Structure 1
């Protein structure tokens, strides 16, 4: 197989256009339109139950299941004439299509949601639909329209003093500025949004924002703060089970390491990202093939960039295995392409030991912060929270230091001299 002649700068330029990821901030922003009753005796209660079930499936990246549950909820809301529920469900379906890479279809559903929300003067689904349209138009590279929708969303959120939606709009604007190369402007918006979601205690959204801030720093070639933010983001994503964004973060770390001319380490993180994406794809196999293909296109850059780096290392057969995984019928392709070589396995194991320590600290931090609002915490609790945040930062630094340790340097040296017997073969 002929090795691809792609330079690292070209690779990084490719990533810069693909991994900005206009990821929605919601998870979901809308709660179920009514109480989550467990009985199906009342159609409204059953629709609300289905909506709440869909939210949980969405949060854990079970997009096919979420889509089905949202559609079931929408059908019931339509049957009983609940227009608020219809607007909410249509917006949620639009968001789910965004994650599946079907941006135009996302626009269609969110526009339907917006029409109903404005007709019934329902601000919550209106601002949600505006945000959804912002994400979708940004992903279609139609930035003026995206900014317009985000600005509308921000204005309404500030009038209503809805802090979550305000954070949503600020983050969306930051992502557009990132994509347009206005990195300082993006950092300002993302920092504003981060401050809000931390006040609200929303961990999943905090993790997304940490990743966006990291990407801005990486775009400015400020790699130390970038990897610090990525590692903080990864810790939280592991805790909350956000597999979709975990995959993005792992790819971004791989990109950063490639930019620093550390391809052996970059390959390790790309492989982990591909494993996450393959896990998500397993849950999409009942979707029609065009929908599966659309999702694959949204994550293909990770597979392709991993294959490029493997090819540059002379690991051509392994690179071909990775490319084969991009086929929609990937269940027919063995996953040996993701197998780690012995030195890679040792490096990842050492990294995960440190990462898991941080995860345990974060679980305690989440428990403390979710128990009582700041005004009702004891001095001991406040002090412990300060200590945990400081310890988290220290462990994040340990992750970075580990990748530069003599142990890892020696293992990387082994990877540079991997004998043929260690390479993946067809």
Structure 2
């Protein structure tokens, strides 16, 4: 099934994100907040043998890189693809991989709405042959654990195998954010940003400011010199040769510029003569006018702030947490407010973590690791009186009695 009319929608979406510095920063921030303190397999209630097995699994699989990539896919596209690889006997899951969502495509669903395979390839370029596409069996999105058992003909949920009706040892699991519009590929919530006007407004402001800076001359002073001023210099210095007069004019102009520019000339005074015409008007020999350039490049300052705030609002990121609003006179939150904002941002990741835990609960159950459970501790920012920068906080879970005991203590 193509993703968009030309199958290039995820790459078009990434191009729009990468073209705006505020949007790219917000996406990075959301992924980092979803990552939290990192995915961990808690083994404190397990046996020594189980701990060794978990350690071996974690040494063979870079869980940090996997989980941060999954968080990126979740925040960009609304779904993520994990691949489980079993050993040859089909008794243990030995590898956990992430397949980049932008390179994944679904096969058409059957009459029951089930999608059987994931197609992984470099869809940025035309696919020349089927050998360029990796086909991966996709577990039922509504019941991946039962589907895995059925495909491997398992008789025990702890991994004891019977007859092997299938030689397939690689399976994909899709972690998907439920959306009101059920399609093959979810529509990210921030898609409203491109359907509205503020994304385009922010781009136009940047183009307009660049054009103004490129096409305008930054003139600092306007110097008016009367014709009689030069005549008085020639008469006072006795210069009659035409070439010498031109050279004297150039030297006088440079002298005026040297006087006006440079930090060492700050605070100096300039004397200029003038006379009054019969009608009472003053005629100055030299007039120096300073051009006010304080507004240069700041014509759309309030507009750019409004556009950035609208982007941050759509991305559900407070602008003070990413420092994206420009200007010196911006209101800034206190440290306590920022800590609360960061805590709220982390708390809102709970539903996404629950969706992502399904893959790891299957791994733990399939490998028979008793007393092990996945967790993502939150980073709790502290105050200075606690003499520490941050601490980890574990959230209570109805299915995890050990966490409840820790919280009570």
Does TM, scored on the shorter chain, surpass 0.5? Answer: no
TM-score (norm 1): 0.25
Q: Which structure: larger Rg?
A: 2
TM-score (norm 2): 0.26
More relative contact order, 1 or 2 (CA 8 Å, 6+ apart): 2
